[in-house]
Structure 1
Amino acid sequence: MKKILFLLAACFVFVACGMKSKTEGTVLPAEKETAVRPDGVEVLCFHSKQRCATCIAIEKNARAAIDSAFADRLADGTLSFRIIDISKPENEAIAEKYQVTWSSLYIVSHKNGQEKAENMTEFAFSNARKSPGEFKKGLVDKINEMIN
């Protein structure tokens, strides 16, 4: 009985928060809004109007990890952390660009006018609530990998 309830709860979380995104590990052209984007890394935390506990944990733990490990890069602008509510009309273009329809976590590297987007959504949903230490370490490691 406990297994069935757990599976139902897990299914609900995945359906409520979503996990659909198609741009994992792809190189994308530079953003149209900016002619030349400076080199650097963005962490994009997408969510919709209604948020589950896991979505909130992803944002909270991502912010904590980034603030702790990358304060200098945040200050000099080579790293940014953006929270994007995809239910707002002004965020429709960026959600469409990354083909995000539900809560998602992306790390985007900007180098020489090109982007490389890493979809960290599955990793985030698997670890942010139950293994926050592992989530923070994995996020920091991936950011470091994309910075270099």
Structure 2
Amino acid sequence: MNAKKNVRYLLLIVVCVGLGLVGYQQFGTITAANTNNADIAASVSPQLKDGLNIYYFHGNQRCTTCVRMEKFTQSTVMNQFLKQVRDGEMQLNLVNVDLPENQHYIDDYQLVFRTVVIANTYNGVDTDWRRLDRVWELANNELAFSQYLTEEINAMVNQTKTNQALEVPSSKVPTHG
């Protein structure tokens, strides 16, 4: 009888330790990531007035997938586009849309869930933007996520260059008269 009681207690201890570890992995990791991300987000300047703004939108409550997607976004931008970031042509903006001052982004970019948006901005106004909803499909594959983000950023940069090349400077527009 005493052996059965000891086995029960041992099993109860194993279950409690297991639940504690799962809770720590789920919530401890997110808390640590949020602390680090808050430092990074605090260092981000206001959005560029002219250039490509890359937004990672998140909320107050964050799952491990959201934290992972932010990490993948930061890593891709800093590894693939460091020169453009340094030259002030491109900027990563980490935006908490749960804050009242940032809720306009939900309407601006038709956000249904947390995601990445790239926006070409000229004189402080978005001339074009893309919401990258496929990031959720690719959230468990850093290479595929990075390739998708890189392709979309490059496509936006190329589209912007094409549009600028097609514009006729106002001084060269013929006048009739």
User: 1:114 & 1:101 partners in 2: Cα distance?
Assistant: 19
User: 1:90 & 1:114 partners in 2: Cα distance?
Assistant: 18
One-letter amino acid of the structure 2 residue matched with residue 133 of structure 1: L
Structure 1 position 42 matched with structure 2 position 29: no
Match of 2:147?
137
Match of 1:118?
130
Counterpart among 53, 59, 66 of residue 55 in structure 1: 66
Contact kept? 1:48, 1:102, Cα under 8 Å: no
Local SS of the residue matching 1:46: strand
Gaps of 5+ in 1: 1-33
Please report how far the alpha carbon of residue 53 of structure 1 lies from its aligned counterpart in structure 2 after TM superposition.
1.5
Greater helix fraction, Structure 1 or Structure 2: 2
Local SS of the residue matching 1:107: strand
One-letter amino acid of the structure 1 residue matched with residue 144 of structure 2: E
One-letter amino acid of the structure 1 residue matched with residue 63 of structure 2: C
Match of 2:156?
146
Aligned runs of 1:67-146 on 2, under 5 Å? 67-110=78-121, 114-121=126-133, 123-129=134-140, 131-146=141-156
Query: What TM-score results when the alignment is normalised by the length of structure 1?
Result: 0.67
Greater strand fraction, Structure 1 or Structure 2: 1
Please report how far the alpha carbon of residue 114 of structure 1 lies from its aligned counterpart in structure 2 after TM superposition.
4.8
The higher-RCO structure (CA 8 Å, 6+ apart) is 1
Contact kept? 2:109, 2:131, Cα under 8 Å: no
User: 2:127 & 2:90 partners in 1: Cα distance?
Assistant: 14
Greater Cα radius of gyration, structure 1 or 2: 2
Please report how far the alpha carbon of residue 116 of structure 1 lies from its aligned counterpart in structure 2 after TM superposition.
1.4
Number of equivalences: 111
User: 1:101 & 1:137 partners in 2: Cα distance?
Assistant: 23
Please report how far the alpha carbon of residue 94 of structure 1 lies from its aligned counterpart in structure 2 after TM superposition.
2.4
Local SS of the residue matching 1:139: helix
